Amino acid sequence: MSLPSYQPIPIDDYYSTPKKGLQEDTGRPAKSQHRNFFRLLVASTIAITMMFGLSRTGIPSVFRGCSKGLHGSANRLPSHYVLPSGDKIPSVALGVWQAGRGEVGVAVQEALKAGYRHIDGAWIYGNEAEVGEALRASKVARKEIWLTSKLWNTFHAPKDIEPSLDESLSRLGTDYVDLYLIHWPVAQNQDGTINKELTEDPYPTWQKLEELVAKGKIRNIGVSK
């Protein structure tokens, strides 16, 4: 199928007669509107230049200052945030979701060499054992590393929380985690169906987590999603 040929409208013909507003057929603005637009643009540029001056690159200094502020904001990112407990959580973490076997350990060790001190993992990621091996191989003291793990949806029942946590602790090779999060605020039964009771009233889950804080197995608790 051939497309209809396009016949451009000669500029001289287009502007040969006075026009107002948009052209009905072409949708082009009238010449007077072009002139008004460029006059406004030039006037605005002159006004900004007079008010703020120009940098060597020709960019008004007000914009140069904004750009500097935006790029400099990363330098002002705090190294830690203080939690209600008083603990300081590193603001940047290495997340190990979807990191496969044979890869996650190398990633953790390289991150620690680069200065990372926060590793963010979870029971459901299935790689906590390799993360633990990498932590031990790094020779970085445990007290210098912030470990985050998460409680999976099917373990919200109070009787299931501590066994799940103990499994994570064993795999990580530590006796406590710095932060233990409810991975999703949705409780599920072991068959994957929604546990409506614990989803609508998560207090029993939270209460058990507080007990584990008192036991010293968890330093801080929260909700991930």
Mean pLDDT by 10 residues, the chain (225 residues): 43 44 44 46 41 37 37 70 97 93 94 97 96 97 98 98 98 98 96 96 98 98 92
Predicted confidence at residue 25, as pLDDT, reads 42
Residue 61 in contact with residue 53, Cβ under 8 Å?
yes
Taking the C-alpha atoms of residue 94 and residue 192, their distance in angstroms, rounded to an integer, is: 29
Taking the C-alpha atoms of residue 135 and residue 112, their distance in angstroms, rounded to an integer, is: 9
Query: Under 8 Å CB-to-CB from 179, ≥6 apart: which residues?
Result: 89, 146, 147, 148, 149, 218, 219, 220, 221, 222
Residues with catalytic roles:
125
Predicted confidence at residue 97, as pLDDT, reads 95
CA 94 to chain centre: 12
Predicted confidence at residue 188, as pLDDT, reads 97
Predicted confidence at residue 45, as pLDDT, reads 41
Task: Check residue 106 and give left, alpha or beta (phi > 0: left; psi -120 to 50: alpha).
Answer: alpha
Q: Give the bridge partners for 221, in sequence order.
A: 180
Predicted confidence at residue 7, as pLDDT, reads 43
Predicted confidence at residue 217, as pLDDT, reads 98
